[in-house]
Amino acid sequence: MEKITSFCIDHDILEKGMYISRIDGDIITYDLRMVKPNYGTYLDNDGLHTFEHLFATYVRNSVYSDAVIYAGPMGCRTGFYFLTRDSISKAQAVQLVKDTMAFIAGFEGDIPGAQESKECGNYLDHDLAKAKAYAKAYGQVMKDWNEEQLVYPQ
C-alpha cells in the first residue's frame, strides 16, 4: 500500500505549531501540533478528551461554525486535526485557534457533552485542569503564529 501523506512528514524535525496537513477540494486539514513528536511527552487521554470537547464546542459556536468540519485528536497524542472549509481564510483559522486556546485555558464550569453517559462514549474520562494546561501551553506556541508559518518544516 502507498504511504499516506501524514506519514511522509519528517516527524524528527517537526516542532510544535500549526501547519496545513492537506487540502482536499474546499476542505483544509490543519495539523495542530501541541507537543514535539517522539520526545517522550504526550497528551494524556483524559486531558486530551476534555480539550476535544471544549475545542469542538467553541469552534462550532463561533462565527465560523458553518465552515467547521471536524476537530479531533491524533492517535499519537501529539496534537489535533482541525478541518475547515476554505471559506475561512488561513489567517482567520490561525486566529480562531488562538481564540479557542484562550477559551479553553480560561474555562470554568461543567464540561460540555460530558455530564451523563448518553452525551459521550467515555464521559467519566475527563480532566479539565489538564485541558486548560494544554491550552495555555499551546496558546504560547500560537501567540505570534501567522499564516506564513503554516508550512511543514523541511
pLDDT in tens, 98-136: 999 999 999 999 999 999 999 999 999 999 999 999 999
> Reduced to 3 states, what is the DSSP secondary structure of residue 120?
coil
Percent of the chain with pLDDT over 90: 92
Decide if pLDDT at 8 tops 90: no
The whole-angstrom separation of Cα 41 and Cα 79 is 12
| Class of CATH domain 13-139 | alpha beta
Angle between helices 90-105 and 45-60 (to 10 degrees): 120
Angle between helices 128-142 and 90-105 (to 10 degrees): 140
How distant, in Å, are the alpha carbons of 25, 84, 92, 120, 132 from that of 76? 26, 21, 27, 21, 20
Contact 59, 72 (CB under 8 A): no
pLDDT band at 7 (very low <50, low <70, confident <90, very high): confident
Beta bridge partners of 68: 84
Decide if pLDDT at 23 tops 90: yes
- Cα angle at 76 between 15 and 45, to 5 degrees? 110
Average pLDDT value over all residues in the chain: 96
How distant, in Å, are the alpha carbons of 2, 24, 44, 61, 151 from that of 35? 27, 26, 11, 26, 17
CA torsion 33-39-45-47 (nearest 10°) is -60
Specify the pTM.
0.95
